[in-house]
Amino acid sequence: MAEQDKQEPTAEEEEELIELIDDDGNIIKFRLLDVTEYKGEKYALLLAAEPNDEVADDEVAIFRYKEKEQMLEPIEDDALLEEVFEFYKNEDLGDED
């Protein structure tokens, strides 16, 4: 019974962890929240997997997802980030109806 109490991540949880390197060379671990398509492009929405100084616990980091290259591209346009996040929230709410 004690062995079942261990909180080791499952293989599925391990696959969802994404490690990104910030401008200072620090590794920041994220969990994939979702991938959404907006205006013909895919965007990955990420949550911090562990506490860090770069991303708040309740903050969503959004990156353009380049599927062919298997790459996440930073988005500098704050208006686009807001549009993608609003689209995601509305899309998510629509799924519950």
Higher pLDDT: 81 or 57? It is 81
DSSP-based helix, strand, coil % in the chain, nearest 5: 30, 35, 35
How high is the pLDDT of residue 65? 97
pLDDT tens per residue across span 21-74:
888 898 889 999 999 999 999 999 999 998 877 778 788 999 999 999 999 999
Bridge partners (DSSP) listed for residue 27 = 21
Q: Is the pLDDT of residue 85 over 50?
A: yes
How high is the pLDDT of residue 53? 78
